[in-house]
Amino acid sequence: MLKQIEGSKAMAEGIALCRPEVICAYPITPQTHIVEGLGDLVKDGSLTNCEFINVESEFAALSVAIGASAAGARAYTATASQGLLFMMEAVYNAAGLGLPIVMTLGNRAIGAPINIWNDHSDAMAVRDAGWLQLFAETNQEAVDLHIQAFRIAEELSMPVMVNVDGFILTHAVERVDIPDQATVDAFLPPFEPMQVLDPDEPASIGAMVGPEAFTEVKYLAHYKQTQALRLITKVAGEYRSRFGRDSGGLIRTYRTQDADTIVVAMGSVCGTIKDTIDEMREEGYPIGLVTLISYRPFPSAALRNALAGAKDIVVVEKAISVGMGGPLAIDVDEALRNLPHAPQLHSAVAGLGGRPILKASLHRLFREAVVQPWEGTQFLDLNVRVVGREIHRSAKTRRSGPTAEALLRQLAAEEREAAEKGRA
């Protein structure tokens, strides 16, 4: 059914169609509307046979989901940013125990300084925890990925994190096709847990494992991630056949067949990149896009095949591995190393803390990659003047203190100077 609906509410309706039996809820912006929407569906009887549990923290939310999943229930929760960090121990535990929990991550910057807007810092902080990580470009894909996520999680017995850009997707109102219950039921079979809670036969999980077996446990977790590469593709194909939409999978290409320059990106920014590519194509630039949907497991082989014919690769990402560069660019670079004639890689970090990523800025970036390549990581639309002043000030005074406050004072001073010039 087509609806004009807020992204979070659409995701809530899609998740409800998967018939979760336990939903653990704790509010944190920007995912709160998702669990609120699910709470409404439980309360009004639209979602039956589901226990909606309000917990006291994000750590408790995932801990309760772990207990529910281990006891044999289909479990779901959601979080964002600092909430994800607060549940960090449980994030690793869920993956280590191989529990098929689905969690929505409303992607948001991590402080300090405090910032509630979108980037991918939170997802990157747990990229090595053992969860599958899928990234949605649109709200339609966000709904579709959640339905696929339960299927993938339960077939592999491992947790799946569906990443949706905070505010850009979660709070956007647009047209979304919400599937009907019968079609989802035909695609997603009832949950058949590997174990169920049986008071007559008590069992423990998460037992101590020493050096004699820990390596093997981690190898098997890695092996399941590699198996997920095939399953994600298979499930996306079945979803397309049943629902009539090409949604999910490992990667998606856009105008790459004859492209000399190919952009690699994840999430909602790919829509803006496509518009920029269309404009540059009209001007004669052979440029295309590869959208990554699966970030973990990382689709190295599929990416190599998609990028093999390009001369230049521009990775645009919303995260920074401080002291190293863009984490996605590092992974792309690793994937390309086995090519006999690897394209030149250009790394660009953009949109941190919700800074708008404008088509005009992307035009400049993509042209620069061709005519004036850069080394290292470029920060799109960086205020070089303010950064330079702060570097000069800190080198001169050599006093410790919060960088953010110093930058804000400089920006305020610039605004006052501009206002005074305007009055003059």
d(CA 38, CA 153): 20
Task: Say if residue 172's pLDDT is above 90.
Answer: yes
Domains annotated for the chain, with CATH where assigned, are: 2-243 (3.40.50.970), 253-379 (3.40.50.920), 385-423 (no CATH)
For residue 397, the model assigns a pLDDT of: 76
Q: Which residue has the tokens 């079945």?
A: 238
d(CA 352, CA 249): 26
> What token pair was written down for 325?
């560069």
Please tell me the pTM assigned to this model.
0.95
Within 13 Å of residue 90, how many CA atoms lie on the same side as its CB? 21
For residue 399, the model assigns a pLDDT of: 66
For residue 45, the model assigns a pLDDT of: 97
d(CA 185, CA 174): 25
pLDDT in tens, 271-280: 999 999 999 9
d(CA 327, CA 293): 15
For residue 210, the model assigns a pLDDT of: 94
Angle between helices 139-156 and 7-17 (to 10 degrees): 30
pLDDT-based confidence at residue 421 (cuts at 50, 70, 90)? confident
Name the least confident of 137-151, 239-253, 345-359, 410-424: 410-424
Q: Give one DSSP letter per residue of 391-410, joined into a string.
A: HHHHHHH-----HHHHHHHH
For residue 207, the model assigns a pLDDT of: 77
Greatest CA separation found in the chain?
A: 84
Q: What is the mean pLDDT of the chain?
A: 95
From 96, 110, 235, select the one nearest 157 (Cα to Cα).
Answer: 96
Whole-number CA gyration radius for the chain: 23
Segment 46-73 mean pLDDT: 97
> CA of 350: how far to CAs of 19, 66, 319, 356, 402, in Å?
37, 35, 8, 8, 23
Over pLDDT 70: what percentage of the chain? 99
